[in-house]
Structures are given as C-alpha cells and as structure tokens.
Amino acid sequence: MLLAIDVGNTNIVIGVFRGTDLIHSWRLTTIRERTSDELGILVASLCDRYEVRQPDITGIVVASVVPPLTATLTRMVTDYFGRVPLLFEPAVNSIMPILYDNPAEVGADRVVNGIAAFDTYARGLPIIVVDFGTATTFDAISAKGEYLGGGICPGPQISADALFQRAARLPRIDLKKPARVVGTNTVASMQSGLFWGYVDMVEGLVRRMKAELGGAAVVVATGGLASVVAPESTVIEHVDEDLTLRGLRLVWERQQ
C-alpha cells in the first residue's frame, strides 16, 4: 500500500492506495502548530479504524505547501510508520518538465495536479487545471506534457472573510449558490456577488488562457469547491476531487 499526503493551507488530505486504487481518503484541518506526535496519533487512528495495517504501507509520498509542517510530517511518518517519505519538490524530483521562470517557486500541489491531469485527460490538447482551494489556482499543461504556468487568485472564502473584516456592517457568510442573482437582502446580495462573480471570474480566466494556448484545451476542476462551482460553469469539463492524490501516486511510481 502507498500512503499519499497532500499538505495544503486549509486541509491535509491523506489517501491510501492499494496498487492504483484509492481505497481510503481522509481530511484533517491544517494546524501549523501541531506536533509530529499529534499528527501521528490522528493518522494511526484513522488507519486502525479502517483496518489499514501500518506494516502493509510500503511507501509514503508527501507534497506540502506549508513549510512549517513539512519537517513535522517527515518526522511523523518516520516515527509512526518506519518509512522515510518521498518529499515531492518540483525543482528537484518532478516527472514533468517545468517551464516556470524559477521551478522552485511553483507549488508542489500545482505540478502534481498537472501530472495527474495529463495522465488522465490528455487527448492531444493542452490542459487547464482549476484548483478550488484556499487560493484558486489555474495551471496550464502543454499538449506535450509540460507545466507552463498559470494564475493564482484569492479563494472565495478569503474574499468572504475580507468583506466581513473590512466592511463594518457586512456579516460573515459561506459561499453557496443563491436563489436569485438579484439579492433582496444583505446576505443574499453578498452570496450573489461572491458566487456569480466567482463563476464568471473562472470562466473569464479560462477563456483567456485557452486563447493563449491556441484556442482549445481540456479543463479539469479539483479542490473543495469544485463540485459547487462546476455545475454553473460552461467551461469546466471534468471534476476530479482525487486529482492531487492520484498525481502523488504517479510521482511515487515513476520515482521507483
């Protein structure tokens, strides 16, 4: 079995693979102050609950965009699983050519998503991956399988929190599709602006990226809000919630 761990700014997503099959996946809240023992107890408890025997885990691969937790995760898997993890670093051990000006700057999750999307959805066209996370990232993969770059925008929850913090009379809300575009109260108006404004931002950026890529591309969405936004979008073709985990599996397999 392979243990794949994606450390994001909001969640730590953990997947267990048996061969190519993702048999379990779990989400933990990202808390930068957690110790390796706290993480070890949580992950070991999840494995025990779902009858994943720790001796059966023969490999561990980690991608992290939270530097304070990278060393903590490495120590945790060494202490609790007796394995030295493969730490995916785009500038060091990527299996995809990276054409970013400085490959060390690109987030590990963005490249991992590109690897999985190209492996799964490539059909002779470029690919655009939209990851709806803490930030919303747009990543372009060439038809030859090269990571080209993309865009980074605030995620919708960041925008909602900013409105609450900076406007004295506006409440804190969650992103959800409103009943109407024209809101008839403050909460409905905020939901309309956030939701439909966000959908149109995604569509506008994807159209502009397609134009730069030659006019056609396969568009894949992933991340926590992908299933909320995608049904209202005319440009998203595939929703793949396990894209990052599957990309980590591909990294592990090809590094062996």
Q: Give me the mean pLDDT over the 197-216 stretch.
A: 94
| Least confident window among 88-97, 110-119, 122-131 | 88-97
Question: What's the CA gap between 128 and 106, in Å, rounded?
Answer: 16
pLDDT confidence of residue 33: 92
DSSP label of 170: P
pLDDT confidence of residue 171: 84
Question: What's the CA gap between 4 and 63, in Å, rounded?
Answer: 8
Long-range Cβ contact pairs of 184-189 (< 8 A, separation 24 or more): none
Q: How many residues does the chain have?
A: 256
Question: What's the CA gap between 192 and 201, in Å, rounded?
Answer: 13
Domain definitions of the chain by residue range: 2-87, 97-247
Proportion of the chain above pLDDT 90, given as a percent: 73
If one counts every other C-beta atom within 10 angstroms of the C-beta of residue 35, the result is 12
Q: Which residues pair with 156 in a beta bridge?
A: none
* 93 band by pLDDT with thresholds 50, 70 and 90: confident
Assign 250 to helix, strand or coil.
helix
Q: Give me the mean pLDDT over the 53-81 stretch.
A: 92
pTM comes to 0.90
Closest CA to 2 of 49, 38, 41, 52: 52
Question: What's the CA gap between 66 and 54, in Å, rounded?
Answer: 25
Q: Give me the mean pLDDT over the 142-164 stretch.
A: 90
| Least confident window among 105-109, 167-171, 186-190, 199-203 | 167-171
The answer, yes or no, to whether residue 210 has pLDDT greater than 90, is yes
Assign 29 to helix, strand or coil.
strand
Catalytic residue IDs: 109
If one counts every other C-beta atom within 10 angstroms of the C-beta of residue 199, the result is 21
pLDDT confidence of residue 54: 85
* CATH topology agreement for domains 2-87 and 97-247: yes
Question: What's the CA gap between 93 and 86, in Å, rounded?
Answer: 9
pLDDT confidence of residue 153: 93
pLDDT confidence of residue 225: 84
DSSP label of 238: E
Token pair recorded at residue 40: 């070890």
| Least confident window among 111-120, 123-132, 162-171 | 162-171
Quick one: fold of 97-247? Nucleotidyltransferase; domain 5 (3.30.420)
Question: What's the CA gap between 39 and 48, in Å, rounded?
Answer: 14
pLDDT confidence of residue 169: 81
Proportion of the chain above pLDDT 70, given as a percent: 100
Domain 2-87: what homologous superfamily?
ATPase, nucleotide binding domain (3.30.420.40)
